Chains A and B, each alone.
Chain A
Amino acid sequence: MSQAATGTSTERTVPPRKTTTPGAGRTRLAVTLVVLTALLMVSATAGLAIGSVQVPPGQVWGIVTHALGADWQQPDWSRARETIVVDVRAPRVLLGAVTGAGLAVIGTALQALVRNPLAEPYLLGVSSGASLGAVSVIVFGVTLFGPLSLSVAAFVGALGALLLVYATARTGGRITSSRLVLSGVAIAAVLTAVLDLLLLTTDRGNEARAVLAWTLGGLGGVNWGTLWLPSTALLLGVGVLMAQARNLNLLLAGEEAATTMGLDVARFRARLFVVLSLVTGVLVAAAGPIGFVGLMMPHIVRLFVGGDHRRVLPTAALGGAVFLIWADIAARTIAAPMEIPVGVLTALCGGPFFLWLMRRDARRGTDRGVA
């Protein structure tokens, strides 16, 4: 087999086989992952350091390692600072990372599943469905599933909205971009109207105000006791999607072609819809509906690592985590001491991004959702 040993002049008649190596792509992936991980560390540190009380980065690390049980720095900080970093900011930064990563992978998978680059849980009304589910639980005081009631209801709402949008947008086995986005917007509008109606007519005035703030998306109010649920959902989502990355790739070739390469498309889509709704539901229950992260991250990382889902998913997750940590830092500081809902800021970035994406695809002359 050794080419070097047998590559004598007598064998030159065989045309030299030019091999193509996936090595270049692998290096790019590795570089991107390393850079993003470093960025994530920096962002998390910033998230812990910045706020009404500024904590120097060195001290942040001292406090964090101390809390983790490794004392490589003599504690020279007040207990108040430790409480701020460990109990107030750390869960919030983690929730930001988890939610950002989760929304990014959900957006990635949705774009493949409905075969449309504009798909995203917020734009498709999935987040609105989750919100409505969660809010109904609050307003009607349902506690059927104990502390999980909120997430369960959000999951049911998300799945319902997703199925509804998919069914309305799809005609004759095809989904066009315009129809998908229009049904998403219309269904989101209806769901939001129902939600507002619920809030306005409920007797629990104080709760209504709290809920209204939550529907704009925000990471406040999280603590160590509630963080496990979104984290578990994220791990589940990333695990399932990474395991299905090859099959997600097949969908890029078209439904018929995917079938000829061994994918039972209808069953695959149904199963993943359930998983995506579950993760969306839990994330929305924890952080409110935060838009556009799932739209932006997949497209941004594809510029660096290409379209293969085995590469897009992990990089999009890291990118989403970094993005939402910074968005939350901005939300806390821009108008301090007032806090801006983080969903407002992501929409501020995401709206223009959406328009740019739409124009770009129009310029390419392809409504890529059509075929």
Chain B
Amino acid sequence: MTATALDVDGVTLTAGARHLVRDVSLTARPGETIGLVGPNGSGKSSLLRAVYRVLRPDAGQVRVDGGDAWALPVRQLARTVAAVVQDSAADFDLAVREVVAMGRTPHKRLLAGDTAEDAELIDSALLAVDAVHLADRPFDRLSGGERRRVLIARALAQQPTLLVLDEPTNHLDIRHQLSVLNTLRRLPATVLLALHDLNLAAYYCDRLYVLHAGEVTASGPPAEILTPKLLAEVYGVAAEVTTHPRTGAPQVTFLPEAPRS
């Protein structure tokens, strides 16, 4: 058994004549937490879009549990892959609980009501993101951070084996950043997420893929790949990388001077 939960194989994505992502390959074993890091515009979101089936690859393949994600009906894929996307509008006065209930849709037949099992899954999803107290609040009155947590709960209610998240810690205060990432790491599901914060990525992810201008420049366990040389090359900044004495994770400190080349 060489099961890969996710196998992105030589994927190229274009918008018009412009390459968003060029020949990127990435794998995730079941239960792994994989981080995508890289500067703005490096292609992180585009790559995630190809995985959750919104942006069709011009070349290459995305395989989930061995099957071509783009060959499956959208609904069927949604039973195994859930996503928390960046652009999420708050609309039409839905209560938080109703937003989370949306996650049950791919598992429901038309006209089927919510069962006790659904209610339980919704409850535990809310519990996992520390949002039970928000259940009856209108979604569009929540703060940015609260919304983000609710959207993660919605993805959890989908019971995915692969969870894809685009900057899930954006707009969150540090306490909730940590709480969300802890939650994700406790999940049995495979997690693929784009992250801005290198230190959080280094601490929470099993492996990282560093994207730069649409290509993978480095990949592997954080401690092996996060080096001052790489950071200078990809981000154009000077940084010092140490091993944190308590967490054992690599710790990136940016230095306020131009990188020496």
Chain A interface residues (CB < 8 Å from chain B): 17-22, 24-25, 111-112, 115, 117, 242-244, 246-247, 249-250, 252-254, 256-257, 259-264, 302, 306-308, 364, 366, 368, 370-371
Contacts of A306 in B (CB 8 A): 93-95, 98
From B53, B85, B97, B119, contact of A257 by CB (8 A): B85
Classify chain B's interface size: 35 or more
Tell whether, in the assembled complex, residue A261 and residue B103 are in contact, meaning their CB atoms are under 8 Å apart: yes
Q: Is B59 an interface residue (CB 8 A)?
A: no
Contacts of A247 in B (CB 8 A): 105
CA distance A21 to B95 in the complex (A): 12
Q: How far is the CB of A357 from chain B (nearest CB, A)?
A: 12
From B81, B110, B119, B136, contact of A260 by CB (8 A): B81
Q: How far is the CB of B96 from chain A (nearest CB, A)?
A: 9
Identify 28 residue pairs between A and B in the complex whose beta-carbon atoms are under 8 Å apart, listed by A's number: A18-B133, A22-B119, A24-B136, A115-B89, A117-B91, A243-B111, A254-B87, A254-B89, A256-B49, A257-B85, A259-B74, A260-B52, A260-B53, A260-B82, A260-B164, A261-B82, A261-B103, A262-B77, A262-B105, A262-B106, A263-B105, A264-B74, A264-B75, A306-B98, A307-B91, A307-B98, A308-B94, A308-B98
Q: Is B190 an interface residue (CB 8 A)?
A: no
Tell whether, in the assembled complex, residue B91 and residue A115 are in contact, meaning their CB atoms are under 8 Å apart: yes
Given A20-B132, A249-B98, check contact A368 B93 (CB 8 Å): no
Q: How far is the CB of A251 from chain B (nearest CB, A)?
A: 9
Tell whether, in the assembled complex, residue B132 and residue A262 are in contact, meaning their CB atoms are under 8 Å apart: no
Q: Is B135 an interface residue (CB 8 A)?
A: yes
CA distance A306 to B92 in the complex (A): 8
Q: Is B244 an interface residue (CB 8 A)?
A: no
From A24, A252, A259, contact of B54 by CB (8 A): A259
Q: How far is the CB of A93 from chain B (nearest CB, A)?
A: 30
Interface of A is mostly: loop
Q: Which of B84-142 contact A (CB under 8 A)?
A: 85, 87-95, 97-99, 102-103, 105-106, 108, 110-111, 114, 119, 122-123, 126-127, 132-133, 135-136, 140
Interface contacts (Cβ under 8 Å), in number, total 120
Q: How far is the CB of A358 from chain B (nearest CB, A)?
A: 16
Contacts of A21 in B (CB 8 A): 119
From A19, A253, A364, contact of B99 by CB (8 A): A253
Q: Is B225 an interface residue (CB 8 A)?
A: no
Contacts of A302 in B (CB 8 A): 92-93
Q: Is B83 an interface residue (CB 8 A)?
A: yes
A20-B132, A246-B108, A307-B95 are known contacts; what are 9 more A-B pairs with Cβ within 8 Å? A18-B132, A20-B135, A250-B105, A253-B91, A254-B87, A259-B74, A260-B83, A260-B155, A261-B102
CA distance A252 to B53 in the complex (A): 19
Identify the closest chain B residue to A15 (Cβ).
B127
Identify the closest chain A residue to B166 (Cβ).
A256
From B78, B94, B127, contact of A252 by CB (8 A): B94
Q: How far is the CB of A367 from chain B (nearest CB, A)?
A: 10
Tell whether, in the assembled complex, residue A256 and residue B94 are in contact, meaning their CB atoms are under 8 Å apart: no
Tell whether, in the assembled complex, residue A246 and residue B110 are in contact, meaning their CB atoms are under 8 Å apart: yes
Tell whether, in the assembled complex, residue A259 and residue B94 are in contact, meaning their CB atoms are under 8 Å apart: no
CA distance A126 to B146 in the complex (A): 39
Tell whether, in the assembled complex, residue B92 and residue A25 are in contact, meaning their CB atoms are under 8 Å apart: no
CA distance A244 to B103 in the complex (A): 15
Q: Is B158 an interface residue (CB 8 A)?
A: yes
CA distance A366 to B140 in the complex (A): 10
CA distance A366 to B114 in the complex (A): 31
Contacts of B176 in A (CB 8 A): none
Nearest 3 pairs of A and B residues by beta carbon: A262-B78, A262-B106, A371-B89
Q: Is B79 an interface residue (CB 8 A)?
A: yes
CA distance A112 to B102 in the complex (A): 15
Given A17-B123, A260-B78, A306-B93, check contact A254 B88 (CB 8 Å): yes
Q: How far is the CB of A284 from chain B (nearest CB, A)?
A: 26
Contacts of B151 in A (CB 8 A): 257
Q: How far is the CB of A180 from chain B (nearest CB, A)?
A: 14
Given A246-B105, A263-B74, check contact A20 B136 (CB 8 Å): yes
Contacts of A308 in B (CB 8 A): 94, 98
CA distance A257 to B99 in the complex (A): 11
